[in-house]
Structure 1
Amino acid sequence: MELIELLPTLHLLRFDVGNAYLWHEGDALTLIDAGVPGSGAEIKAAVEGLGFTLGHLRAVVVTHGHDDHWGALSELGDDAPFLVHAADAPVLRGDYRQRVPDRADLPDWERELFDGLPPIPAPSPARVDRELADGDVLDFGGGAHVIGIPGHTPGSIAIHVPAHRLLFAGDTIANVGDHPMLGVFNIDRQGAADSFRRLSELDLSLVCVGHGDPVTGDASARLRQVKI
């Protein structure tokens, strides 16, 4: 895992599969996503490398119910509340497995990516302490706004931090070779595209994505230029 500073208050945790993000202000930490099963030790090492402990976590926010974004939740202890949209909460609780698109419905180029995915062990079920909804505001970064963006999964969310022109986009936005694009493996591609366009209308200078490098510069303009 790589630990990369994006802002004085924000670090990227880059795993072998996917990204997580750690926001810190004072002695309060907020973790956005939690990696694949087995990532708990790497998250703990990253937190401690910044001079904190897992006890400083005030919340773990899950952008959606795919195993590479919440798989290590059960490894993070019992102190921090776990937050996820209500529509994806049953996946975390273990009521049903993650929802992925039918391979046959994918375009050829996505099918090749799908076939090359590394195996990920099934996560242990995790508790859900708060079910989120569009319009909720979380207590970090001067107010972090939950935006419901269904399409990638039914309960996908983005977290918008207007005071910092910052967005955590989950997998609805990807950035490959510094080229922003609609994320892949969407349950409802049209819904995901509509959600992408909604996010592109925000005033953003930094977009933290689930896979790839963050989108920087005039991020809003760059998103609006994407052809979907």
Structure 2
Amino acid sequence: MDIVDARPRLTMFRFPIGQAYLWYDDDGLTLVDSGHAGAAPAVEKGIRAVGRDPALLRRIVLTHDLGFGDGAVVVHAPGHTDGSMGIHLPRHGGLFTGDAIAAVERRVILGVFNTDRARAKASMSRLAASAPETVCCGHGDPVTEDTAAVLRAAAKEAAAAE
């Protein structure tokens, strides 16, 4: 792996195929893409080589190939934050919602602490339309029983609430 200083606070890790970028900011490190499967040891070594502590890695942002096999779909789900997203695995019936949706005491609800409640409600409805078999929320246990109906009902309830 080659290590290239792209600019202050930005380093590129160039692999034989593809690359990853390490961004340093005041609250930690962000890795944009992560290299090929099995690249973690090289990335860790690269982070150390530029004088950074891998323990400060706060975010990994993938721009493609989510590693779940074919068919993974990123769903823009703004509302909690402008950049919130979900990951839908239609082939496997899975939906990862981040903080857009929460499962609290066996009840599915709109995520809390939203920057834009109207957009959060619309995002919840859009995520519910995927009719998943399993929902994994940013907070709470996975929903695995009657999931599509539970999620649709929760989205309808959230949409009707003030």
> Into which bin does the TM-score normalised by the smaller protein fall?
0.5 to 0.7
State how far apart, in whole Å, the 1-side matches of 2:99 and 2:86 are: 9
State how far apart, in whole Å, the 2-side matches of 1:223 and 1:172 are: 12
> CA contact under 8 A between 1:137 and 1:143: conserved in structure 2?
no
State how far apart, in whole Å, the 1-side matches of 2:82 and 2:127 are: 16
Measure how far apart 1:152 and its partner are. 0.4
RMSD: 3.1
TM-score, normalising length: structure 1: 0.43
1:189 maps to what in 2?
Answer: 117
Q: Given the alignment, which residue of 158, 161, 165 partners 2:86?
A: 158
2:4 maps to what in 1?
Answer: none
State how far apart, in whole Å, the 1-side matches of 2:132 and 2:76 are: 17
Q: Whose strand proportion is higher, 1 or 2?
A: 2
State how far apart, in whole Å, the 1-side matches of 2:101 and 2:152 are: 12
**Alpha-carbon spacing, 1:77–1:216, altered in 2? closer, same or farther (3 Å):** farther
Tell me which amino acid in the other structure corresponds to 2:121: A
Alignment of 1:54-133 (within 5 A): 78=43, 124=56, 130=62, 132=63
Instruction: Give the SS at the match of 1:154.
Output: coil
State how far apart, in whole Å, the 1-side matches of 2:106 and 2:134 are: 13
Instruction: Report whether the alignment pairs 1:206 with 2:110.
Output: no
Alignment of 1:130-141 (within 5 A): 130=62, 132=63, 138-141=66-69
TM-score, normalising length: structure 2: 0.59
**Alpha-carbon spacing, 1:77–1:150, altered in 2? closer, same or farther (3 Å):** farther
State how far apart, in whole Å, the 2-side matches of 1:128 and 1:204 are: 25
Tell me which amino acid in the other structure corresponds to 1:180: V
State how far apart, in whole Å, the 2-side matches of 1:140 and 1:156 are: 19
1:167 maps to what in 2?
Answer: 95
Q: Write the deviation string for residues 44-86 of structure 1: whole angstroms up to 9, x where unpaired.
A: xxxxxxxxxxx96679xxxxxxxxxxxxxxxx9826xxxxxxx
Q: Which has the larger radius of gyration?
A: 2
**Alpha-carbon spacing, 1:58–1:210, altered in 2? closer, same or farther (3 Å):** farther
Instruction: Report whether the alignment pairs 1:218 with 2:149.
Output: no
State the identity as a percent.
44
Q: Write the deviation string for residues 134-177 of structure 1: whole angstroms up to 9, x where unpaired.
A: xx663423321111101101111100001111001001010001
Equivalent pairs, count: 112
Gaps of 5+ in 2: 1-26, 28-35, 45-54
Instruction: Give the SS at the match of 2:130.
Output: coil
Gaps of 5+ in 1: 1-36, 38-54, 60-75, 80-122
